[in-house]
Chains A and B, each alone.
Chain A
Amino acid sequence: MIEARAVGKHYGQKVAVDDLTFTVKPGIVTGFLGPNGAGKSTTMRLILGLDAPTSGSVTVNGKHYRDLRAPLHEVGALLEARAIHTGRSGYNHLLALAQTHSIPKRRVDEVIELVGLESVARKRVGSFSLGMGQRLGVAAALLGDPKTVILDEPANGLDPEGIRWIRNLLKGLAAEGRTVFLSSHLMSEMEQTAEHLIVIGKGRLIADTSVSQFVSQASSGAPVRVRAAQLAALQDALTGNGARVIQADGGAIEVQGLSSEQIGEIAAAQQLVLHELTPLQASLEDAFMSLTKDAVEYQQV
């Protein structure tokens, strides 16, 4: 359980996170979504006590991170920025972390096996590929068997097989009742992994909702694809009711401003035969784009 209460972070004049309030619940994967520069990493650093909030507070399992007596058992985290000394072997990195909590050596071997790094664990981290480094970060996050797992852009540098692996891993962790909070700027990844979404842009909360609700909400203004026997007559009837109509391929039209129900009723009243009536659902990607278009740090011209 992660609870942010009106948390804010300023770096001088620059506002990184502004008055964020949200709760991340256990038992499900919660996605943390936002364009690059939206404040996702900063928020995660605030949760982990690495940065101190300018205002408000964040707690993990009811406590400020700094007050956790055994933080590795409470929270496991993978940061976007590397947090591993490149001169050390992966094994020694994990061992040094484990020793801070007297976590036994066999647990170190276990997490190495879990992330599939057995063959390279004794090599210097400096020689690791991006994906191997990411797996080592996941191993470190799981070292203390934490109740809460926080991962910043975990898919970075992973190949498709690795992405599927981490997706299943996270779903499994959530199914065990853990709190799983992961950030990404890639919608498609979230659509397949997360159940709940917290969306931010320019440091502000944009949405805090389930993935399905998020998509249906964003789809409410989406067009309806229509094909009909007497298309011209239907088109007149629809525009007469205030709809905007654009021509689509395959002899169809896309109608904006009316729901599929309304279109069906209008057609029935005019005794016009419909061949197709399809509400076009926005993908998570589209939903996200439309929600954050005002909040993108670097707008493309």
Chain B
Amino acid sequence: MTTEASSLPLNAPVQGMSSGVTLPRLIRSEWTKLWSLRSTRWTLFFACLSMAGLGPLIAVITMARWNHMPAIQRLTLDPIERSLGGYHLAQLAIGVLGVLVISGEYSTGMIRSSLMAAPKRLPVLWAKILVFASVAFVLMVITALIGYLASQAIFTQHHVNVPLSQTPAFRVLIGTVLFMTVTGVLCVALGTIVRSTAGGISAYVGIMFVLPGLADILPTSLSNAINPYLPSNAGGSVTSVFQQAHTFSAWGGFALFCGYTVVAVGLAAYLLRTRDA
């Protein structure tokens, strides 16, 4: 290795070609970061598999058992929610990946490289959220459609299928995908706030899966008052075919969930801007 090699020949062109950090450039960078990790590819593969595969699998089992099912079960069968049942697993994967997108940078020190390249800091967070939310939304829309259409094709065996055009099938499908996407964004915010993978995933699981359980052990009147406001219930309302008692309307609840996410993202942005990296 000679010193001559360091007389960086691209001096002029490099300087001329790029005039600085912009949001589109950070988005390209985050795209590369996202897909160049094996953990991302596996987690997204798992989410896609759950979303596209679990609904049809349940449909096949249901149809096979149809003739032995009690009448009450046949009547209460919800072909819409069943075909999208994989979302529970997919949501977990999307949430964990949302945390990892940023906590992985903190645990490895990569965040320092990222912030040295983009010292304004906030555009890094916006780029991460935009890239991750877009990827999650597109993949989940595609796999939800596959899962839904495949399941309905199976449900035709006993003519319990619901076409996508029939209310509220499309609302439930798109609502489920949006709920997962916004959950992903919430998790990016949580990961940014706590700056650790374990902490971020714990916060996610605590908020979305433990809080509802805690609310259930409260006296009924109290839990009925609190329940609709819990993030998981508010956001989940858009994934339900029927609105149960003590819940918000489908889109009203989802709007509240988006509000929680905005607050979390705001806090994450404030902390990212002001904390030492």
A106 CA to B38 CA in the complex, in Å?
Answer: 24
Q: Is the CB of B120 within 8 A of A103?
A: no
Q: Given contacts A51-B277, A100-B25, could you give 9 more A-B pairs where the C-beta distance is less than 8 Å?
A: A49-B119, A68-B119, A69-B19, A75-B116, A85-B37, A100-B21, A100-B29, A100-B117, A101-B25
Q: Nearest Cβ in chain B — how far from A162, in angstroms?
A: 9
- A residues touching B (Cβ–Cβ < 8 Å)? 45, 48-52, 65-66, 68-73, 75, 77, 79, 81-89, 92-93, 95-97, 99-104, 106-107, 110, 113-114, 116, 140, 142, 144-145, 165, 168-169, 171-173, 175-176
A49-B119, A79-B112 given as contacts; is B39 within 8 A of A114 (CB)?
A: no
Is B6 an interface position by the 8 A CB rule? yes
Q: Is the CB of A102 within 8 A of B25?
A: yes
Q: Is the CB of A87 within 8 A of B38?
A: yes
A103 CA to B18 CA in the complex, in Å?
Answer: 6
Q: Is the CB of A85 within 8 A of B105?
A: yes
Size of interface on B: residues with Cβ below 8 Å to A: 47
Q: Nearest Cβ in chain A — how far from B19, in angstroms?
A: 7
Q: What residue of chain A has the Cβ atom nearest to residue B115's Cβ?
A: A50
Q: Is the CB of B8 within 8 A of A145?
A: yes
Q: Is the CB of A102 within 8 A of B18?
A: yes
Q: Which of B14, B19, B38, B276 contacts A144 (CB 8 A)?
A: B14
Q: Which of A48, A85, A114, A173 contacts B104 (CB 8 A)?
A: A85
Q: Is the CB of A87 within 8 A of B39?
A: yes
- B residues touching A (Cβ–Cβ < 8 Å)? 1-11, 13-15, 17-21, 25-26, 28-30, 32-33, 36-39, 104-105, 108-113, 115-120, 274, 276-277
A208 CA to B5 CA in the complex, in Å?
Answer: 31
Q: Which residues of A contact B21 (CB under 8 A)?
A: 69-71, 100-101
Q: Nearest Cβ in chain A — how far from B117, in angstroms?
A: 4
Q: Which residues of B contact A69 (CB under 8 A)?
A: 19-21
Q: Is the CB of B6 within 8 A of A140?
A: no
A73-B15, A103-B14 given as contacts; is B113 within 8 A of A84 (CB)?
A: yes
Q: Nearest Cβ in chain A — how far from B269, in angstroms?
A: 15
A70 CA to B120 CA in the complex, in Å?
Answer: 11
A69 CA to B19 CA in the complex, in Å?
Answer: 8
Q: 26 A-B Cβ contacts within 8 A?
A: A48-B119, A51-B277, A52-B274, A66-B119, A66-B120, A70-B19, A71-B117, A72-B116, A75-B116, A81-B109, A82-B108, A83-B110, A85-B104, A85-B105, A87-B37, A87-B38, A88-B36, A89-B36, A92-B36, A99-B29, A107-B14, A168-B1, A168-B2, A172-B3, A172-B4, A173-B6
A50-B277, A87-B104, A103-B18 given as contacts; is B119 within 8 A of A65 (CB)?
A: yes
Q: Is the CB of B20 within 8 A of A85?
A: no
Q: Is the CB of A96 within 8 A of B18?
A: no
Q: Is the CB of B113 within 8 A of A97?
A: yes
Q: What residue of chain B has the Cβ atom nearest to residue A106's Cβ?
A: B10
Q: What residue of chain A has the Cβ atom nearest to residue B28's Cβ?
A: A99
Q: Is the CB of B119 within 8 A of A71?
A: yes
